[in-house]
Amino acid sequence: MCAATLTITDLKVAIDADAGLVRAIDGLSLCIERGETFALVGESGCGKSMTALALMRLLPDNGRVTDGRIEIEGQETLSLPESAMRRLRGGRIGMIFQEPATSLNPVMRVGDQIVEAIETHTALRGAAARAKAVEWLGRVGIPEPERRIDDYPFRMSGGQKQRVMIAIALAAEPAFLVADEPTTALDVAIQAQILELLKQLQREQGMGLLLITHDLAVVSGMAQRVALMYAGQIVEVARAAEFFSEPKHPYARLLLQSLPEAQKRGTALAAIAGTVPPLSQAFVGCRFAPRCDRAFDRCITDAPLLLPPVASAPDSAGPPRDVRCWLHVSPTGAEAADAISGRTASVSAVTAPQAASSLLPSDELLLDVQHLSVRFPIRTGLFRRTSSHAVAVADVSLQIRRGETYALVGESGCGKTTLGKAVVQLLRGQASIEGRALLDGQDLFGLHGEALRQARRSVQMIFQDPYASLNPRMRVFELLEEGLLTLRPELDAAARRALLESLVDRVGLRREALQRHPHEFSGGQRQRIAIARALAVEPQLIVCDEPTSALDVSVQAQILNLLKQLQRELGLSYLFITHHLGVVEYIADHVAVMHRGRIEETGPTAALLADPREAYTRRLLAAVPRLVRF
């Protein structure tokens, strides 16, 4: 055992599901030292979030720990009564959950939720607790915290809700923090602020941090050690410098090759084929072998252990490096690596980078937004009369050509999503809208009835929060078929099923997913369902609101390749709302920087990112996390 804040030994977690017993975590061991940032990375469905829930004793009702130990500062937690665990949870251990929309109580003011955490785990009460809550809202970047403390969650953007949840987790200043995708919904400026806050707390109070994320740039700048997880098991553990400079496991190597970067523009990203296997099956050999480009016979028949690579010498300067791969943990594996280096693996595993077919955006204008302003009514008093308006979008004009990807970047709350929803006609009756949005010369704001229904087929949207945008009572097949029934009535039942099966294949889901409900999927898998739903009616323009924010890097590469492929094949145009500037560099032809409802700067992507003219744009670019390959 290490002198650590957290020690996990041979942890196993099982979940009873319709498909059988799911072994979500199978023999996980790790230790995190005081003051250390330990990153847990891997694809959606690998077991990262389930690891966090097991640590906090928050497993779903059908889940249970079947073996192993969890110790926090020497105290074993799995045998504690729930009353003792409640004192531990939130006080000594805080957690930032992956989905703020479902983690915040919708009928409580955000300030009351922060005060609840403060009064439960500290000595502060009443006005002092409220003052502390206001302080935390300010520290996590909520503007006007004295006013916003009395808001309900629905009045906040996705990024602002994420910041509120971070404030709740940090308010009691825990000794240990489990952060499950803490910056996924945040723009780069607030992300930098939150990460710096976490570093500051670590310096001040020696807080241990388990960082669960798919953002490898954040990991390279934050973590001292990295564990890569696949199909319920850790497959590589290393110091961050070693992991990013010389990854050992084939899975780690392929993940790093999947990252979107400016220099890869014009080529398809290297995307790992297939998906994480279902954890209800019995495994025989290496779990990654069916997707590995270097698999050989022993990988199929024998399961490797997590061991130091044979070529590595013992290093007394830090924790040892371990890898779960026959290529590195035995002389036999090393010889096999030489034997297969000149031939194709038995199973095709990766889509290698290749030149994308050249297709520049046409000069034909598809969408022309002219002087768009969006104002939301502020209602006060007993009769909720409109007393004033909040301006979300102010006099914005932009043009998108056919086949073009137009990126819209900026901080959370600046109006990006509001602009997208206005274009898709989702704000009718909710806001006052001025200006015009011409699609093929037809003003969308002037359409009604059948004309509006026909226009909706031409403009679709991929929403930021896939969980909130998917009906939890409907199966995936029904969710995807709903748009076809409304907007493509000419398709019969057989044609609809064939189309939907093709769609789930293309977005990286198994066909059995069509018969499941949204709650049975990870966050990244739900986002893929949302993307498939938008593609189903074959639109001309898709408003992509953070379409890859919930995706790990390998699936992100698949989706970006898919979006580029569809654009080439169908001449699609994208209004691409994102805070991930690596994605912007790779996919966007044109970019606009939005700040406080206005467009600050716009231009061709390469030119604007290389030589920004506005001070705000320069500050935004300076906050972007970059992958450090050491």
Residue 369: band (very low, low, confident or very high) from pLDDT cuts 50, 70, 90: very high
For residue 413, give the 3-state DSSP assignment.
coil
Domains of the chain, earliest start first: 4-223 (3.40.50.300), 404-430+444-622 (3.40.50.300)
Q: Choose among 336, 324, 237: nearest CA to 294.
A: 336
The answer, yes or no, to whether residue 345 has pLDDT greater than 90, is no
Task: Report how far residue 227's alpha carbon sits from residue 247's, in angstroms, rounded to the nearest whole number.
Answer: 11
Q: For 203-243, how does the pLDDT look when each residue is reduced to its tens digit (9 = 90+)?
A: 888 889 999 988 888 999 999 999 999 999 999 999 999 99
Do 294 and 337 contact (CB within 8 A), yes or no?
A: yes
Q: 254: exposed, middle or buried (C-beta count within 10 Å: 0-12, 13-18, 19+)? A: buried
CA distances from 405 to 63, 140, 587 (A): 43, 32, 7
* Lowest-pLDDT choice from 120-129, 142-151, 305-314: 305-314
Q: How far apart are CA 53 and CA 210, in angstroms?
A: 12
Q: Which tens digits make up the pLDDT trace of 236-280?
A: 999 999 999 999 999 999 999 888 888 888 888 887 877 788 899
pLDDT at 283 over 50: yes
At 212, phi and psi to the nearest 5?
Answer: -100, 120
Which tens digit of pLDDT belongs to each residue from 516-555? 999 888 767 888 898 889 888 889 999 999 888 767 788 7
Alpha-carbon distance of 297 to 305, in angstroms, equals 16
Dihedral pair phi/psi, residue 322, rounded to 5°? -125, 150
**Scanning the structure block, which residue is given the tokens 């371990």?**
322
Lowest model confidence (mean pLDDT) among 81-85, 117-121, 273-277: 273-277
Q: How many other C-beta atoms are found inside a 10 Å radius of the C-beta of residue 60?
A: 11
Q: Give the pLDDT confidence of 180-207 residue by residue, as tens digits.
A: 988 876 777 778 888 888 888 888 888 8
Residue-wise pLDDT tens digits, 129-184: 999 999 999 988 888 999 999 999 988 877 788 889 889 998 988 889 999 988 87
Inter-residue contact 571 to 490 (CB < 8 Å):
no
Kindly state the tokens that stand for 144.
Answer: 């006007």
Long-range contacts of residues 73-80, Cβ cutoff 8 Å, at least 24 apart: 73/5, 73/175, 73/176
For tokens 């995190």, name the residue: 32
Mean pLDDT of 315-329: 78
Classify the C-alpha dihedral 506-510-513-519 as positive or negative: negative
Residue-wise pLDDT for 431-460, tens only, equals 999 999 999 999 999 998 888 888 888 999
Q: What is the mean pLDDT of residues 335-362?
A: 48
For 131-170, the DSSP string reads: HHHHHHHHHTT-SSHHHHTT--GGGS-HHHHHHHHHHHHH
Phi first, then psi, for residue 306 (nearest 5°) are: -85, 105
CA–CA gap between residue 270 and residue 183 (Å, rounded): 25
